[in-house]
Structure 1
Amino acid sequence: MLLTSIPSVTLVSRAEAAPQLGYTAATLGAVMSRNADAWPAPIACRLKTRALQYDLDAMLATAQGDETPLSRKPATVTGATGLITCLECGIDMRSLGRHLVAKHEMNSAEYREKYGMPRTAALEAPGTRRRRVRTARADLQARLDTLAPYQSAGHLAELQVKGVENLRDSTANRAVVKQHRAPVQRKGVAAMREARAKIFEAKIIEAGYTSLEDAIRQTAHLSGSGAAKRIGIGATSVRRWRQRLL
């Protein structure tokens, strides 16, 4: 539908120009954005909707210069039923893809080329396309909603921790790893015992005894906790050393 006409200039919006150029509105927008310098600039703007207005003749001239042959025949021909009309046989259908192959032995590219349509011209009724898009978006959203809990930061962090733990456990249980770690572990245990013995020795001397054995024997008459308090070491250590020495 033409919005307005003035001498020598016919103003149309991009959506109104698309069918006359052999494009869908979305495809024309994509084509113009990819090669903006080749297409005419808007020369007016609709006040109410702020839709940009273009010179139709300039748009047609630019479209005719495209490498794909174009005609003023709309890419999608629909009737009162909202179905797309096959230009080969005149049958109205929701989609021409399978019909062209089954009835006319041509694919979509050959059909578009024969009737001077752009390679991106839709061969599906607008209502069918809209329903397919809505269904696809709903399916995508359903998949995203299903996956959302598994894509949260907490779940990913939990997986990472579990992965590290599993890797550590599987590595630590290998015989070759145990074999290489054993000398280091023995050295570490010996160093720990030596450091602990020095601490015991310092506490025993501070308590007035000459050695740990001397402290254990002189406090044998006391309870374990009482001896531990007097010597300055733990009650468990007192009981363990009493079992060894007494």
Structure 2
Amino acid sequence: MTFELLRARREMGDQQGRPGHWIPPGRPTDVPLGVQPESGGKLLCLECGLWFRQLGQHVVAKHDMSADDYRRVYELPRGFGLHSSAVKQVRAESQRERLAADPEFKARLRPKRSREELARLSKIAWYESKDRAGVRAARRQGPPAHNVAQYGHLGTAAMRANRAAEVAELCRAAGFASIEEVFTEKAALSNREIAELMGMSKGRVDKLRRRLGFDAPGRWAKDYVVKHPSMLPPIPAKELAAVPYGTQPVKDGYPLCLECGRWFKRLDQHIAVMHGLNVADYYARHGIDPHEARARELGYASLADLLAATADWNGTDLGKLLGVTTRKTRELRHRHGLTPPRGARPVGFVPKTPRPHPPLSAAELAAVPYGEQPDRDGQLLCLECGEWTRGAGAHVRWKHGIGAAEYRARHGLPADTKLHRRLGASS
């Protein structure tokens, strides 16, 4: 070894392959394209020949290439992770712990892009990597015989065999001979219950059940009785066309969508998502009076019956029932020949300003003790005429032509007596 090479080692550090340290040359030449060797919990860097638990950080720091560039050069599948199986297992366990500790963590992991954008990006990625050697190896029925250890896991047949062996092992652990025996003996159990029994996911149980031809209980069973109309298939086109124009059928509280013929609990969300219509456009398209539809939702035959049943209601309460303003209730009542009730107050109405009490008679006014200023429900008694008012000072000035000081002197009131509205106990 030359002196210059020894001095370079001494200056650059050890040969562990960490970013920022010296790495000897030696690109592997015996690894075919599309293969990423792994051994001892580490992946082989196909650029320099060293082993790492995570290749993504290494190729960025030492070889000035991104992870996507590395996959493209060596024709690996675009979704191939550049970290070892041990690292994947540790990350999966950590993710499961976070999901168990924080129920809202799963919602924060949802992609920010729309479904259309994700589908477009997925299609682009498929076109970019469909002809790579690693993807072609994954499509083969079995791994190449000369290099099974390196990329046998990419073969389709090998993956299916591994999954079948895993399912058989779970069946033996649960006390069954095969998955067919599980579905035969536990036919009454739902997919979720079988998943908890077998220790697998609900989706995997559903796929196995469908693939093997077993009927699942619940809404997928043949003899299942639909309880909610929204689960029923859409009504035939002839029946949908026979619905009278301007009517909105309702069945057991479920309104019918006149666009597709299905029943829904919330029709506004359905027409917005599936048909791109708001409520006003939907009503205008099918000639529906929204107030008539609201009356039918409340159990009345028509809006006229609802207005007749609530003839003694005030406009505020009727507006809350129909979801309209008080002014609109007066218009609806006038359209159907009904007169709004006079003096009706909303339920729980509390007036901001109490109504004035009747004035006292001369005998009652003379019985008021000298030197006292009675108040009642926030109103003051005028000791000149016996009327109740919110401001006695202004009242006596404009009605009796005397000032506040003279009023206090006439009736022996202290100089600091307040002559405006005040809240006090009834006298």
Q: Please report the TM-score for the alignment, with normalisation by the length of structure 1.
A: 0.31
Higher RCO (Cα < 8 Å, 6 or more apart): 1
Q: Please report the TM-score for the alignment, with normalisation by the length of structure 2.
A: 0.19
